[in-house]
Amino acid sequence: MTLRGCLAWSSGFVYNFLRNDDRGDTGMEKRELVIVGAGPAGLTAAIYGRRAGLDVLLIEKGAAGGQINITEEIENWPGVQHATGPELGAMFRAHAEKFNTEFRDADVTKIEVRDGAKIVVTNKGEIEAEAVIVATGAYFRRLGCEGEAEHIGQGVSYCAVCDGAFFEDEEIAVVGGGNSAVEEGDYLTKFASKVYIIHRRDEFRADRAAVERALSNPKIVPVWNSVVEKIEGDGMVENLVLKNVKTGEISDLPVAGVFMFVGQAPHDEAVKGLLETTKGGWIKTNERMETSVEGIFAAGDLRDKSLRQVVTAAADGAIAAMSASSYIAEQVHLHSKLMEPEKVVALFFSSIDAGQAKLSGDVESAFERAGAAVVLVDGYKNARMVQKLGLTDLPVMIRIESGKIGEPKFLHHPGVLKTVPFDKEGGR
Ligand code: NAP
């Protein structure tokens, strides 16, 4: 079996192994780290990526900042007791710029793995990346009631900061009971004369501080146990038809506008079908921000996580960048050690097994005594590679010769290895 054959189905690893030898110059732009999304997660990833010495391209669509740009008040970013979202977003961006991040305004339509290479497809061309961090964030979901779609921009809104000022001295409604609904409802009282917060239960899910502030605001009127059945209005929104979920009673609530804050959904358009997700489409990652596709990382609100905050998005971004940096370094190292030499013998072992760690030293000495060389690969840290090579057990030795890997030799009794298991030529 050839190494290429063995790995043909896999993603980044194969490509990174083979790119220098087997791919002609496609003329495609090639970058080390491409970050998609310029919210707190993407900008923090850029800062960390640049500090780690990576070539970083950050692709943003429109203004940088993501949802932070439509958040009026941020008072839980440590060290800054109060800032508006756009203020904090601008500081993040300036910080990423200070480290010479390259920004590009483009629409990423798709991220795909083509012949093992990670390709970021944009409306301005394709880019091949050693590693990609997807940090495209989340958006506010639509409620889905009758009349909603027709009135978007005509009184139905998903952004208080963007549209609040249109409702000076008007009565309006907010739908939802989470932090967004309660905090944005409070913010909207700067403009509106009255803000009804329509919630399907009889208590808000938002945190206590936000609830107390909203409920002590005389302009806020909670409407409990109620859902919006229909949005009515000839042109602009004029009336909401509400249903009390406890009594079944139907009532009218005349308002000039309604803001929907009924939860969020991930901006996963570019990676749909590529990455493993949970039911709601949230991207699954491990604690290193690795997704189900090697070399593609996810950070921030589009990730499956329990707390979607600026501070957690930034933390994700930092972790993702450091993971991407080690991934890229690992690929380069492994390529030069395993693929560039004509003949290689490699020992894959687990560094967390004391016996195998000792064995790796013994093997290296045994090869040295025989005048040969062996490449030691920590199979624990490179678990995906072990899996892709079909190595079912560790420790194991393999020989790679002219792109072909030989039969693996599983060392079931690591303590008894006394001689070099391959002819000494193999390691040269
Ligand atoms: P959320 O916490 O998921 O709340 C969504 C709200 O919408 C819930 O109250 C839910 O009702 C209601 N809802 C969902 N589907 C509905 C439907 N079909 N009809 C009527 N009501 C419906 O969403 P979020 O408020 O956007 O917050 C998302 C995340 O961001 C959370 O983790 C939140 O803590 C965080 N966040 C934090 C801050 C902050 O710390 N300053 C600000 C904003 C957001 P139920 O309660 O009955 O499920």
Q: Which of 6, 55, 107, 159 is catalytic?
A: 159
Three-state secondary-structure class, residue 213: helix
**Structure-token match 């072990």, residue found:** 386
Indicate which atom in ligand 1 lies nearest the CA of residue 306.
Answer: 32
Mean pLDDT value across the chain: 87
**What's the rounded Cα separation, in Å, for the pair 259 and 265?**
16
Question: Tens of pLDDT along 163-215?
Answer: 899 999 999 999 999 999 999 999 999 999 999 999 999 999 999 999 999 99
- Position 14 scores a pLDDT of 33
CA distance 291 to 319: 13
Question: Among 148, 182, 259, 262, which residue has the most ligand 1 atoms within 8 Å of its CB, making it the best to mutate?
Answer: 262
Q: Which two tokens stand for residue 118?
A: 């990670």
pLDDT value of residue 403: 66
173 touches ligand 1 (CB under 6 Å)? no
Per-residue model confidence (pLDDT) at position 79: 94
* Any atom of ligand 1 within 6 Å of the Cβ of 136: no
Distances from the Cα of 256 to the Cαs of 24, 154, 188, 192, 376, in angstroms?
A: 61, 9, 13, 10, 69
391 membership: H or E segment, kind and range: none
Domains of the chain: 3-139+265-334 (3.50.50.60), 149-262 (3.50.50.60), 341-427 (3.40.30.10)
pLDDT of residue 329: 85
Catalytic residue check, 145 = no
Q: How many A from CA of 321 to the centre of ligand 1?
A: 29
User: What's the rounded Cα separation, in Å, for the pair 114 and 270?
Assistant: 15
Q: Do 200 and 226 touch, CB atoms closer than 8 A?
A: yes
Q: What is the pLDDT of residues 324-348, one digit of tens each?
A: 998 998 888 777 788 778 888 999 9
Q: Among residues 160, 168, 153, which one has the least CA distance to residue 197?
A: 160
For this structure, is 162 an active site residue? Answer: yes
pLDDT computed for residue 340 by the predictor: 79
* pLDDT computed for residue 414 by the predictor: 53
Residue 65: the pLDDT is 62
For residue 180, report the distance from its CA to the centre of ligand 1, in Å. Answer: 6
**pLDDT recorded at residue 387:** 76
Q: Does residue 13 contact residue 331 with C-beta atoms inside 8 Å?
A: yes
Q: Which residues of the chain have a pLDDT value below 70?
A: 1-26, 63-65, 403, 412-428
Q: What is the pTM of this model?
A: 0.75
Contacts by 50-53 with C-beta closer than 8 Å and gap 24+? 50/96, 50/99, 50/100, 50/101, 51/99, 52/321, 52/322, 52/325, 53/325
Q: Structure tokens of 86?
A: 């756009």
- Sign of the Cα torsion 129, 131, 137, 143 reads positive
Residue 319's alpha-carbon distances to 41, 42, 112, 231, 315, in angstroms, are 10, 11, 22, 44, 6
- Tell me, what's the pLDDT at 427? 37
Task: Using only the alpha carbons of the chain, give its radius of gyration.
Answer: 28
C-alpha triplet 179, 183, 189: angle, nearest 5°: 155
Single out the residue of 261, 425, 227, 253 nearest to residue 345, CA to CA. Answer: 425
Question: How many angstroms separate the CA atoms of 258 and 143, rounded?
Answer: 11
pLDDT digits (tens, 9 = 90+) for 384-410: 778 777 888 899 999 988 767 888 888
The token pair at 302 is: 């589009």
43 alpha carbon – ligand 1 mean position (Å): 25
pLDDT of res. 2: 33
163 catalytically annotated: yes
> Tell me, what's the pLDDT at 337?
83
Q: List the beta bridge partners of residue 250.
A: 243
Count CB neighbours of 102 within 10 A: 14
Q: What is the whole-number distance in angstroms between the Cα of residue 45 and the centre of ligand 1?
A: 26
